[in-house]
Chain A
Amino acid sequence: MTDFLNAIVALSNFVLIPGLAYGAQLALGALGVTLIYGILRFSNFAHGDTMAFGATMTILITWGFQAAGITAGPLPTALLALPFGILATIGLALLTDKTVYRFYRTQKAAPVIFVIVSMGVMFIMNGIVRFIIGPDEQRFSDGERFIVSARDFKEWSGLREGLAIKTTQGITVVVAVICVTALFYFLNKTRTGKSMRAYSDNEDLALLSGINPERVVMVTWIIVASLACIAGVLYGLDKSFKPFVYFQLLLPIFASAVVGGLGNPLGAIFGGFLIAYSEIFITYAWKKVLVYLMPEALEPSGLVQLLSTDYKFAVSFAILVVVLLFKPTGLFKGQSV
């Protein structure tokens, strides 16, 4: 019985809880990608770097707060800085739209041109972020590190395995739930949200219903920039901030959006968790869990790790390819790519 409990605790500690936090981060990122795809009709490759920019701004402001002695008590100071980071990201997104994307929109450029343009934007944002904060790793989390620490848990339960829940993991999940709830309320219940859905559903008809396309586009960028900034900061808090990592995150984020069905917000959330758990399941060394479950004679001598963690991006890539081959519209009905 204790063995079984130990196995469950080990599983939660190393797989379930980190997966939940990572999935929430991917889901928030994928929501941004999917919204842009649904409304502006292109795959926004600059999304990862928009996240990096948001995180950069939030980090700078966090450092400012820390220097001024303003803290949020047990919570990370970054949470206080987040609203300002969001504003800065919104500013950048609207500026990019006004100077770059609008030009192509008035020309009614083909989606593939937008994709290439977004890659250009990506490289520029990439440069801006490195220019501002440098290419190195930055730490900016402070406050209480754990909600439940492994040692406390061991003492309390008397088990050999400890269960640690990091503050950042808790914050990630809570913030993600709030964002998603607000987003769905917005899309389904408010007039602006409905205009966005209408525009995504049938552009011609939306225009002929008197919906102002520029306003829809603007609101979309505002929402997407906010989501990107939040996702970027949560990821940076939970892991660590490194500009290059956000560029790499693009792959799992796109995989999440495509798996769920591009243009479908519910699908993006589902996709985020699917990709996160697949990555962790395949790259986790299962020995730790199996030693408790297998009879002694059958105990694995190896790590029982299907793939080394170096290959974690290969997992999302493989899922992406399989989905595109067999169900290009995604698991939830989205637009095909």
Chain B
Amino acid sequence: MIKVENLSKHFGGFRAVDGASLEIAQGSITGLIGPNGAGKTTLFNVIAGVLEPTGGRVTMAGEDITGLPPHKLFHKGLLRTFQIAHEFSSMSCRENLMMVPGGQTGETLWNTWFGRKRIADEERALRAKADEVLEFLTISHLADHKAGQVSGGQKKLLELGRTMMVDAKIVFLDEVGAGVNRTLLNTIGDAIIRLNKERGYTFVVIEHDMDFIGRLCDPVICMAEGKVLAEGTLDEIKANEQVIEAYLGTGLKNKDKVEA
């Protein structure tokens, strides 16, 4: 589905992503883990077109999508969410969702004034869809609240809801569970599984919560210092020595010596 070849992104002398190669299979929920600063979010940003890569290639279903701007990728079905939830703070939650599908009739200046009926029909459908999504995410009661005023966890749900407004092919979730309580995290997990099963969304999930990763993801990819370290099931990853080293440092190996 998505193939990343030797991708790198440097900020001056700092190599945030340093020759990472990975492949994401169609229909999978791939977990992306790694210590802080491993380059996970930068990798997302480069794939999603927010940042220009320094080198390397990204292909989606065989088509080169390296460096395409986000709104074009969006129309190809590649969506992402943000680590720190983004929202249009002055609009209601429902309006936030209704903003999502691009290329609406009302987007041209001409149709704004002269295509009123078509826009009205379209908006009615969108509204119904937005309400459905809010229902699905158990936040119907927030439909008319300003998105800037709802809680952090609810904003995370809204982020997920955004991906449900269109027929996405692949969704990149950046720490969708960060700062979210257990119950809400389970709701999010259920939603992801359901979207994956029922609608065939492919997911790539960055997450630090290993239970969450274990429940959802197969395979799991571990990154460190801008490179892909290991790939496999979570248990395989957990057993991988390089991974342990990346998380805990080399000190552990010399543990016996230290204790002695």
Task: Give 16 new A-B contacts, CB below 8 A, not counting A194-B99, A208-B70, A212-B71.
Answer: A190-B119, A191-B105, A191-B112, A192-B106, A192-B108, A192-B112, A202-B89, A207-B50, A207-B69, A208-B48, A208-B80, A209-B100, A210-B100, A211-B71, A212-B107, A219-B109
| CB–CB A215/B107 < 8 A | yes
Question: In the complex where A194-B95, A197-B90, A198-B91 touch, is A210 in contact with B108 (Cβ < 8 A)?
Answer: no
Q: In the complex, which residue of chain A has the Cβ closest to the Cβ of B162?
A: A209
Q: How far is the CA of A207 from the CA of B162 in the complex (A)?
A: 13
Q: In the complex, which residue of chain B has the Cβ closest to the Cβ of A215?
A: B107
Question: In the complex where A190-B106, A198-B88 touch, is A207 in contact with B70 (Cβ < 8 A)?
Answer: yes
The bracket for how many chain B residues form the interface is: 20 to 34
B201 within 8 A of A: no
Q: What chain B residues lie within 8 Å of A206 (beta carbons)?
A: 88, 99
B75 within 8 A of A: yes
Q: How far is the CA of A206 from the CA of B162 in the complex (A)?
A: 11
Name A's interface SS. Answer: helix
Q: What chain A residues lie within 8 Å of B29 (beta carbons)?
A: none
Q: In the complex, which residue of chain B has the Cβ closest to the Cβ of A182?
A: B113
| CB–CB B48/A210 < 8 A | no
B189 within 8 A of A: no
B203 within 8 A of A: no
Which residues on A are within 8 Å of B, measured CB to CB?
Answer: 186, 190-195, 197-198, 201-202, 204-213, 215, 219, 222
Most buried by A among B91, B105, B166: B91
| CB–CB A191/B74 < 8 A | no
Q: In the complex, which residue of chain A has the Cβ closest to the Cβ of B75?
A: A210
Q: How far is the CA of A213 from the CA of B87 in the complex (A)?
A: 17
B19 within 8 A of A: no
Q: In the complex, which residue of chain A has the Cβ closest to the Cβ of B85?
A: A205
Question: In the complex where A191-B107, A202-B89, A205-B88 touch, is A211 in contact with B102 (Cβ < 8 A)?
Answer: yes
Q: What chain A residues lie within 8 Å of B108 (beta carbons)?
A: 192, 215
Most buried by A among B50, B79, B106: B106
| CB–CB B119/A191 < 8 A | yes
Q: What chain A residues lie within 8 Å of B62 (beta carbons)?
A: none
Can you list 6 pairs linking A and B with CB atoms under 8 Å apart? A197-B90, A201-B88, A201-B89, A207-B74, A208-B79, A222-B109
Question: In the complex where A192-B107, A194-B95, A207-B69 touch, is A201 in contact with B90 (Cβ < 8 A)?
Answer: yes
| CB–CB B102/A210 < 8 A | yes
B101 within 8 A of A: yes
Shortest B156–chain A CB gap in Å is: 14
Q: How far is the CA of A192 from the CA of B80 in the complex (A)?
A: 23
Q: In the complex, which residue of chain B has the Cβ closest to the Cβ of A202?
A: B86
Q: In the complex, which residue of chain B has the Cβ closest to the Cβ of A264?
A: B90
Query: B116-158 toward A: CB 8 Å interface, digit per residue (1/0)?
Result: 0001000100000000000000000000000000000000000
